[in-house]
Structure 1
Amino acid sequence: EADSTVYDYEPSEEAILSDLLPRGVATQIFSALLENGASEQGARMSAMDNATRNAGDMIDKLTIEFNRSRQAVITNELIEIISGAEAL
């Protein structure tokens, strides 16, 4: 036997819908803003990671160049000392 009980809801369906619909839209907008912010932070993190890696490569190259220059100066000074000693 089917139950023929009728339930009344407070507030009405229209009131519930008029309250929940703006909340749903606001939630979707807020979610989109959060995703946008997270995407921006991810892009910044990736850019900084690349910059850090490039800076490390540049430090390595400049260190090698500095060491070669320093070694060339030392070699020239040794050549001058040896040439001066041979001249005596």
Structure 2
Amino acid sequence: MAGAGVREYKRRIRSVKNTQQITKAMKMVAAAKLRRAQENAEASRPYTEILQDALARLAAVSFDVKHPLLEKRKEVRKVGYVVITADRGLCGGYNTNIIRAANVAIAEDSRKPATGIIAVGRKAR
């Protein structure tokens, strides 16, 4: 009878060790992905700065372009929202927060126009 208890403990210890190995491997993969994402973000910094500079210069210039899509409208009849979420999990509360923010923005729009939503990402659908 006592032998069965020892066997059960050994089996559980093996199971916990296997879980630890899997968790350690997942942690290493996540660290590598995070490092790669940080490197990509750092590599895009010069492009971001150039784009921000170009947009700031464009905003500072006053030019008279008459185009119907650039004119301010008196009455807004339709509004479109683009909601971008992740395709996969492991991103914390990102998806929930984005969807909540979109719902709040739509509810708080005092003009109450017809609203269209474009959902990008598997979690938004």
1:37 alignment partner in structure 2: 12
Specify the SS of the correspondent of 1:36. helix
Is 1:55 the counterpart of 2:30? The answer is yes
Matched residues in 1 for 2:47 and 2:12: separation? Answer: 52
Structure whose CA Rg is larger:
1
Is 1:65 the counterpart of 2:65? The answer is no
Segments of 5+ residues of structure 2 without an aligned counterpart are 59-125
Higher helix share: 1
Q: Deviations over 1:33-71 (max 9, x none)?
A: 001100000001101111111111011000011111222
* Cα RMSD, aligned residues only: 2.1
Larger RCO (CA within 8 A; separation ≥ 6) = 2
TM-score norm. by structure 1 comes to 0.55
Matched residues in 2 for 1:54 and 1:67: separation? Answer: 20
> Which segments of structure 1 move beyond 4 Å, counting only runs of 4 or more?
none
Is 1:74 the counterpart of 2:49? The answer is yes
Report the identity percentage.
5
Matched residues in 1 for 2:20 and 2:51: separation? Answer: 46
